[in-house]
């Protein structure tokens, strides 16, 4: 079974981003970039499935600027077999456009399972996997906390408000990963060196016949009103009387 994993290059989760003074964009110059944490989990799951003999090949795909190559090399170092880089300078490609491109890739690759992170930590959209499943007319299991592969069905435990839900999906299927699915492995230097020898194929959105022009206009970016630090109280009695005075209790 072939697995397709989609990975995104985003500002590292530890970075506190700033908005440019004119509000025209988020300042992403000279900040640390990493693979989206949910996508790392997707790659890890694919690699574990291959190690367990459930998958034959793992293809990693990323869409975006030249530097996405680094993200794909990380996926290859984690254990993906080959990578596809759909290169474009179009900034902030919308989930629907990404889903259209991924649908083309999934069809060409005849992937049985497509793994994505449940959301990217930059746009926080949480849309791409669901949109991709719709375009492929494939079943979806979002927010996966556990995946079991059967012969022509997979069973997925999903994280939902209030608990979990278990679904069985016909293959091919699209699954988006939640944080609980696994703990991604640490990439060792020798693996990174080996990853440089693995195939990485370049193409452009036009090669896939997909229009990725934005449908929505972002008018401006702003930082939220900062919460002011309040006061430190000396003891519990002071805390309770302060809360009473503030009518919080």
Partner 1 sequence: MTTLVLAEHDGQTLQAATRNAISAAARLGAVDVLVAGDNVRGVAQAAANIAHVRTVLLAQAPHYAHQLAEEIAPLLVSLAEPYDHLAAAAGSFGKNIMPRAAALLNCPQISDLTEIIAADTFVRPIYAGNVLATVRNPGGKLVLTFRASAFDAAADTGGSADIREVPATAAQNLSRFVRRDLTESERPELTQAKVVVSGGRGLGSAEQFDALMTPLADTLGAAIGASRAAVDAGYAPNDYQVGQTGKIVAPELYIAVGVSGAIQHLAGMQGSKTVVAINKDPDAPIFAVADYGLVGDLFELVPQLTDALKQV
Site for partner 1 in 26-85 (CB under 8 A): 26, 38
CA 88 → CA 40, 108, 125, 202, 205, distances in Å? 22, 20, 20, 10, 7
Secondary structure of residue 41 in the 3-state scheme: helix
Which one of 21, 29, 53, 162 is in contact with partner 1 (CB under 8 A)? 162
- The reply on whether position 151 binds partner 1 by CB under 8 A is no
Q: What is the dihedral of CA 144, 208, 3, 167, to 10 degrees?
A: 30
- The reply on whether position 192 binds partner 1 by CB under 8 A is no
By beta-carbon proximity to partner 1, the closer residue of 79 and 145 is 145
By beta-carbon proximity to partner 1, the closer residue of 197 and 215 is 215
Whole-angstrom Cα distance, residue 212 to residue 74? 25
Q: Phi and psi for 23 in degrees, rounded to 5? A: 70, 15
- The reply on whether position 205 binds partner 1 by CB under 8 A is no
Q: Which stretch binds partner 1 (CB under 8 A): 12-20, 54-62, 107-115, 197-205?
A: 12-20
Instruction: Print the binding letters for residues 101-120 with partner 1: x by CB under 8 A, - otherwise.
Output: -----------------xx-
CA 195 → CA 69, 82, 102, 220, distances in Å? 11, 9, 23, 39
- The reply on whether position 209 binds partner 1 by CB under 8 A is no
By beta-carbon proximity to partner 1, the closer residue of 197 and 227 is 227
Q: Which stretch binds partner 1 (CB under 8 A): 46-54, 66-74, 176-184, 191-199?
A: 176-184
8-state DSSP, 65: S
Secondary structure of residue 79 in the 3-state scheme: coil
Which one of 67, 107, 168, 206 is in contact with partner 1 (CB under 8 A)? 168
Answer for the pair 87, 111: CB distance below 8 angstroms, yes or no. Answer: no
Which one of 126, 184, 192, 203 is in contact with partner 1 (CB under 8 A)? 126
């Amino acid at each position: 079974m072939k697995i397709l994993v989609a990975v995104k290059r985003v500002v590292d989760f530890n970075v506190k981003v700033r908005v440019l003074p004119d509000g025209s964009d988020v300042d992403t110059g000279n900040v640390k970039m990493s693979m989206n944490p949910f996508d790392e989990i997707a790659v890890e799951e694919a690699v574990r499935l291959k190690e367990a003999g459930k998958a034959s090949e793992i293809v990693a795909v990323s869409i975006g600027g030249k530097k996405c190559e680094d993200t794909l090399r990380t996926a290859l170092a984690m254990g993906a077999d080959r990578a596809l880089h759909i290169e474009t300078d179009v900034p902030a490609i919308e989930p629907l456009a990404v889903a259209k491109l991924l649908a083309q890739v999934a069809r060409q690759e005849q992937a049985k399972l497509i793994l994505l992170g449940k959301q990217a930590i930059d746009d926080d959209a949480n849309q791409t996997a669901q949109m991709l499943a719709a375009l492929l007319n494939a079943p979806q299991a979002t927010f996966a906390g556990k995946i079991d592969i059967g012969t022509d069905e997979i069973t997925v435990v999903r994280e939902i408000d209030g608990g979990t839900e278990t679904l069985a999906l016909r293959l091919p299927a699209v699954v988006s990963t939640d944080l609980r699915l696994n703990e991604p492995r640490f990439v060792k230097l020798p693996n990174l060196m080996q990853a440089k020898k693995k195939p990485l194929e370049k193409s452009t959105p036009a090669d896939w016949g997909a229009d990725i022009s934005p449908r929505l206009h972002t008018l401006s970016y702003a930082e939220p009103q900062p919460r002011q630090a309040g006061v430190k109280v000396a003891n519990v009695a002071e805390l309770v009387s302060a809360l009473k005075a503030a009518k919080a209790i």
